[in-house]
Amino acid sequence: MSAVGNDIAALPSRFALSDVLGLVGALDHADIGILLLDAELHAVYMNQPFRDLWTIPDVLAARRPSFRDLVRHVETTHWRHVAPNQRRSYLRRRERAIRAGAVAPTPIELPDGRQVRFRCDTLPDGGRLLTYADVTDDIRRASESAVQRISAELRFATETLETQAAYLVALAEETEETRKQADTARLMLEREVEERRNIEAQLRQVATTDSLTGVLNRAAFLTCAERELIRARNNGKVLSILMLDADHFKTVNDRHGHAGGDAVLQYLAGACRTAMRAGDSIGRLGGEEFAVVLPGATLEMGEEVAERLRGQIASHAVWHGGVPIAFTVSVGVGAARCADQSIEQVMARADAALYAAKEAGRNRVVLERAA
């Protein structure tokens, strides 16, 4: 958390709600979302990062909504995972937790894969200070650091074992008996070296792969796609991106359970592999959203791949538990431009095209708007 985040976390022990409100001019530039509630749990202030995080519209923010209204908005616009007949008890549980007082830092995973750390503190005059810090990059860096440290330790141990094996081979030349002993020890060391190399490969696999579908996870895909964009720019080549989303995925989960939803996501990942060319890469960005990077493909070539994939999925059902599950996908296609500084810019245009495909009725391919 930044220095601003640390200062905000310490405010409840030094200021009343009226004092905190004097800082609102600076809080819109903080790197954490901040929500101030009065003693009746009505919003008296929310900074811009909080509104951006939970997509709070102006009309909702302007009427000093209750915490329950905000939770209901987030539930219906972001997750929608609570059944209507359970929503009342769900809202009451959330409200009781805040009304009870301080809540220790709690991790929240968003549908797009980001990680947010939530905290609630009680103010001296009965209000509540809620903070939401995006810690996705911190978690990713910690994971990468751990994998790098373990890999370095394994490489050091492997090199040591290889050195010992070479020494034993030299000893084997002295006597026949020593040679036999050295051969046995060398074979054991070689097996251990191979096992350690397998462990290192497995660590790399875990760090870069989505466990459900076997495709690249979000962080690994972004790294791969950024590398392909740099290569395309250096070599004067083209590149396109597909953004895919399973249509009405919530309905699939409601009708067939999460196991049925998992079967749909696994089938979608397999269909993407079948439609892809050699050198293409696919990643799961979070939930039911996938992305494919197509090096050397123009916007029109990307459209052909996307349409082939869309048609294949629309014409086949997924069988789960003896029941067919029919579903479709919407696809947005974007292509790299000379002015692009990062792969996120290409993905943003493809994502806008995906949104347009959803708005136009789903089960279709839409290209990015012309520059």
Q: What angle do CA 112, 309, 357 make, to 5 degrees?
A: 55
Q: In angstroms, how far is CA 313 from the centroid of its own chain?
A: 24
Active site residues: 288
Exposed, middle or buried, 131 (CB in 10 Å: 0-12/13-18/19+)? Answer: buried
DSSP structure class, residue 318: E
Maximum CA extent, the chain: 91
DSSP structure class, residue 30: S
DSSP per residue, 177-229: HHHHHHHHHHHHHHHHHHHHHHHHHHHHHHHHB-TTTSSB-HHHHHHHHHHHH
3-state secondary structure 51-107: HHHHCCCHHHHHCCCEHHHHHHHHHHHHHCCCCHHHHHHHHHHHHHHHHCCCEEEEE
Task: Report residue 184 as tokens.
Answer: 């046995």
Distance CA 338, CA 77 (A): 35
